Amino acid sequence: MLAFKVENLNLWYEDNHALIDVSMDVPRNQVTALIGPSGCGKSTLLRCFNRMNDLIPKTKITGKILMKGDVEIRDPSVDVVKLRTDVGMVFQSPNPFPMSIFDNVAYGLRCQGIKDKKQLSATVERSLRQAALWDEVKDSLQRNALKLSGGQQQRLCIARAIALEPSVLLMDEPTSALDPIATAKIEDLMQSLKQMYTIVIVTHSMSQAARISDQTAFFLLGELIEAGPTAEIFQVPKDKRTEDYISGKFG
Amino acid sequence: MNKARRRKDIMRTSVTWISASLAVLVLTSIFVFVFKRGAGTFSWSMLKDDYWSKNYLVAFGDVAANDFAPPDTDSEDEFFSRKFGFGLADSVDKENNQLMLVTTVSALSPLHEGTITTAGPDQGKVMAIPLNARIRRIDYLDQENNVKSTGLLGQDHSAEGAIERLEQEATAIREIYFQSTGGGIRGSIIATLMLIGLTLLFSLPLGISAAIYLHEVAPRNKVTDWIRAAVEMLAGVPSIIFGLMGVSMLFRVTNLFGITTQSVLLGSFTMTIMLLPLIMRQTEEALIVVPGSLRMASLSLGASTTQTIFKVVLPNALPGILSATLLSMSRIIGESAALIFTMGTAISDSPKISQGATTLAVHIWTVMAGEQPNFELATAISLLILVLVLGLNVTVKLLTYRINKKWQV
């Protein structure tokens, strides 16, 4: 079963051809890692999955991204607001809203028009539990989220995203701003989250990709060089460039 | 370091020092001047009194003489009536007209309970003769029950003569004709507040919405760049031109409300347009400070653009918008040229939205523009304006400091 099927995707930022003819599969309930040096297009591809690229003016896209087999996500009939509730996103540096922990997690639901307090608090608790943050904050849900530590803030952002029960969770270098202990916690979290969600993660850390992902796709200068099961990519890469990158010859 | 270089350095440093101290000196001297000239006139009664002195005729129903003890603070210039318990002193006003002022009124004096007989809405009300009232005429009954008069309009032209006559002849007081002090700025304070309220009511929604449109909604293209440049240009237009525009164009708008003269409403329309660039600019600055990552987070959680603006961006831009409001207030308080045209220069003691009135700044213009410029009142009002504007600006500084601190994390 596939979460996304990307077919011949091309993307231009004005004259810059950022994604060149990318075709790949993102399987369900697995962790797919997108790796490659800076500017290789991995984050751009990630932002295509929830159409955050729509916000950047003068962007041109051709090709297809099929979700759940048959829904072309750039089709005019697809409601982008609805798509983003089904494809959650966690950003590079933690970006909780400057409001209480509870309000942060409930934000997405409230935007959907849900006002029922019982339902809200039930969802907030479930999401915080899933994000392994509940035990740390259950007594201080009304505290300002900015008072949390960086790692806690990032887990709060994960809780905020999964409160909407998306099918996919996109993560754009979610641990690059965190210390090793907080990183380890987030990595553990991803292992448990993949039971429920498909995870696509962009990472700069080769070891992180090797540790947590089931599938890996290697990008270079906008092109998808190689994609496949993580073990294969790391142990028997088919392409010379993949091998060079993984072994640290460039990047 | 060689000599030439050292000499140059010293020269440049001293130029900056001299310029800086000159600037500080000028600023301080303005403050000192305003405080020295104005502080003497500045008082609570100045803030709450009418500007125009009013004539009152107050009847006392032939209240009989009594015996009152003179006050302890017995001065040479003050003359006290033991029979009726009040003191008078001679004085002159700004135009050198002779005055007779009430200096003391004993606690139980009959002067506390007169009835206004001047025609008007206050007729029949009980009124006490206030301190500093300008006594024009006192009607009293003598031993033969004849009505006689003293005071400036009566037989005596000095406080001493009037009091002496009362002490010798009067058995009862019938009526007192006096003028209230005047010279207060209550009307102008109210007009200023009305102008601030109305202007903010119109300009804040307009300016904030326009800024949101330009910064959050509109695409960045030639048209919006042009709009932005036009708004910036508006900020540089002299205010007297806004005043001209007010009387020539906006006057027709106020005409639709049936207002045929200069009015506070017309002033507020004009100020609204004048303040739009300031409010738009400040609001946009506040919007820029809100991190883009919050917008991204909101959108990625399935919020619409509008929800993102109203739930995340605006609440975080609020301190900035508040400082825009405060800055606008100080601009309104300080504005004069545009308001002279649109609100007129006639000081009103009970300003109405549909009528002309003066703000504090225009009040200064009016008292200085006459044949006998009233420096004392003008500087006292300046003092008030300086304090208000200073207070508002300090608040803005504090707010800005807090915003910067908030996003430093």
For every residue of B301-332, DSSP letters joined together read TT--HHHIIIIIIHHHHHHHHHHHHHHHHHHH
Nearest CB to A97; choose among B297, B307, B409:
B297
Asked if B311 reaches chain A (Cβ–Cβ under 8 Å), the answer is yes
SS3 for B87?
strand
Cβ–Cβ below 8 Å for A95 and B297:
yes
Nearest CB to B302; choose among A93, A98, A108:
A108
CATH code of the domain covering residue A128: 3.40.50.300
For the stretch B207-243, pLDDT in tens is: 999 999 999 888 888 998 998 899 888 888 999 999 9
Query: Kind and range of the H or E element at B224?
Result: helix B222-236
* Token pair listed for B108: 């139980």
Distance of CA B235 to the CA centre of its chain: 25
Residue from A81, A154, A156, A170 whose CB has the most chain B CBs within 10 Å, to mutate:
A81
- Domain definitions of chain B by residue range: 54-179, 186-407
Chain A contacts of B224, Cβ < 8 Å? none
Strand-pairing partners, residue B86, are B81, B105
Q: What is the CA radius of gyration of chain A?
A: 18
Whether A169 is covered by a domain: the verdict is yes
Considering only CB atoms, which residues of chain A are within 8 Å of chain B? Answer: 50, 52, 55, 57, 81-82, 84-85, 88-89, 91, 93, 95-98, 107-108, 110-112, 146, 157, 160-161, 164
Pick from B285, B282, B293: nearest CA to B409: B293
**Strand duo B126-127 + B114-116: pairing:** antiparallel
B245 neighbors B276 (Cβ within 8 angstroms): no
Chain B contacts of A48, Cβ < 8 Å? none
For the stretch B147-176, pLDDT in tens is: 888 888 877 888 888 888 888 888 888 888
Residue from A47, A52, A84 whose CB has the most chain B CBs within 10 Å, to mutate:
A84
> CB neighbours of B37 closer than 8 A, spacing ≥ 6?
B375, B376, B379, B380
B186-407 classified as CATH 1.10.3720.10: yes
The band of B72, judged by pLDDT with boundaries at 50, 70 and 90, is confident
Chain B residue with CA closest to A103: the answer is B311
State the residue for tokens 């039971």.
A195
Rounded distance between C-alpha atoms, residue A228 and residue A213, angstroms: 11
Chain A contacts of B406, Cβ < 8 Å? 98
Chain A contacts of B297, Cβ < 8 Å? 91, 95-97, 157, 160
* Token pair listed for A111: 């935007």
- DSSP-assigned letter for residue B218: S
B162 neighbors B151 (Cβ within 8 angstroms): yes
* Mean pLDDT to the nearest integer, B108-129: 84
**How much is the pLDDT for B52?**
84
Rounded distance between C-alpha atoms, residue B166 and residue B159, angstroms: 11
Pick from B347, B365, B357, B359: nearest CA to B388: B359
What total of structural domains would you count in chain A? 1
Chain A contacts of B291, Cβ < 8 Å? 95
State the residue for tokens 């929604």.
B205
Chain B contacts of A107, Cβ < 8 Å? 298, 301, 303, 311
Nearest CB to A95; choose among B293, B307, B311:
B293
- One-letter identity of residue A189: L
Q: How many CB atoms lie within 10 A of CB A181?
A: 8
Across the A/B interface, how many CB contacts are shorter than 8 Å? 63
Residue from B223, B290, B301, B309 whose CB has the most chain A CBs within 10 Å, to mutate:
B301
Cβ–Cβ below 8 Å for B300 and A88:
yes
Cβ–Cβ below 8 Å for B301 and A108:
yes
* Token pair listed for B11: 């020269």
**How much is the pLDDT for B408?**
54
Chain B: nearest CA to A161, how far in angstroms? 6
* Mean pLDDT to the nearest integer, B172-185: 86
Rounded distance between C-alpha atoms, residue A136 and residue A189, angstroms: 15
**How much is the pLDDT for B404?**
73
Rounded distance between C-alpha atoms, residue B181 and residue B103, angstroms: 12
Pick from B333, B339, B336, B322: nearest CA to B383: B333
- Mean pLDDT estimate for chain B: 88
Whether A42 is covered by a domain: the verdict is yes
Chain B: nearest CA to A231, how far in angstroms? 31
The band of B409, judged by pLDDT with boundaries at 50, 70 and 90, is very low
Cβ–Cβ below 8 Å for A91 and B297:
yes
A196 neighbors A3 (Cβ within 8 angstroms): no
**HSE-CB of B21 using CA atoms within 13 angstroms:** 5
Cβ–Cβ below 8 Å for B409 and A146:
yes
**How much is the pLDDT for A103?**
93
Pick from A165, A242, A26: nearest CA to B301: A165
Whether A251 is covered by a domain: the verdict is no
The full DSSP string for A77-89 is TS-HHHHHHHEEE
SS3 for B177?
strand
Chain A: nearest CA to B363, how far in angstroms? 46
Cβ–Cβ below 8 Å for B296 and A50:
no
Domain that holds residue A125: 2-246
The full DSSP string for chain A is -EEEEEEEEEEEETTEEEEEEEEEEEETTSEEEEE-STTSSHHHHHHHHTTGGGGSTTEEEEEEEEETTTEETTSTTS-HHHHHHHEEEE-SS----SSBHHHHHHHHHHHTT---HHHHHHHHHHHHHHTT-HHHHTT-TTSBGGGS-HHHHHHHHHHHHHTT--SEEEEESTTTTS-HHHHHHHHHHHHHHTTTSEEEEE-S-HHHHHHH-SEEEEEETTEEEEEEEHHHHHHS-SSHHHHHHHTTS--
Cβ–Cβ below 8 Å for A97 and B293:
no
State the residue for tokens 């009430």.
B102
For the stretch B288-336, pLDDT in tens is: 988 889 999 999 998 999 999 999 999 888 888 988 999 999 999 999 9
Cβ–Cβ below 8 Å for A88 and B307:
no
* Token pair listed for B103: 């200096």
Rounded distance between C-alpha atoms, residue A37 and residue A41, angstroms: 9
How far is the CA of B243 from the CAs of B212, B218, B271, B352, in angstroms? 28, 31, 9, 20
Rounded distance between C-alpha atoms, residue B233 and residue A163, angstroms: 48
Nearest CB to B293; choose among A85, A93, A146:
A93
For the stretch B20-69, pLDDT in tens is: 999 999 999 998 998 888 888 888 888 888 888 888 888 888 877 788 88
* Residue B344 region by backbone torsions, left for phi larger than 0, else alpha for psi between -120 and 50, else beta: left
Asked if B304 reaches chain A (Cβ–Cβ under 8 Å), the answer is yes
Cβ–Cβ below 8 Å for A89 and B291:
no
Whether A106 is covered by a domain: the verdict is yes
> CB neighbours of B190 closer than 8 A, spacing ≥ 6?
B350, B351, B357
Cβ–Cβ below 8 Å for A81 and B304:
yes
* Token pair listed for B353: 């939205």
Cβ–Cβ below 8 Å for B300 and A107:
no
Phi then psi for residue A220, to 5 deg, are: -145, 120
CA dihedral (B81, B83, B86, B89) in degrees, to 10, reads -20
Query: Kind and range of the H or E element at B17?
Result: helix B3-39
A155 neighbors A131 (Cβ within 8 angstroms): yes
Chain A contacts of B307, Cβ < 8 Å? 111
Asked if B296 reaches chain A (Cβ–Cβ under 8 Å), the answer is yes
Is pLDDT of B93 > 80? no
In tens digits, what is the pLDDT along chain A, a chain of 251 residues? 788 889 999 999 988 898 999 999 999 999 999 998 888 888 999 999 999 988 888 888 999 899 887 888 888 888 888 899 999 999 998 999 999 999 999 999 999 999 999 999 999 999 999 888 999 998 999 999 998 998 999 999 999 999 999 999 999 999 888 888 889 988 988 888 888 899 999 998 888 999 999 999 999 998 999 999 999 998 888 888 988 888 887 76
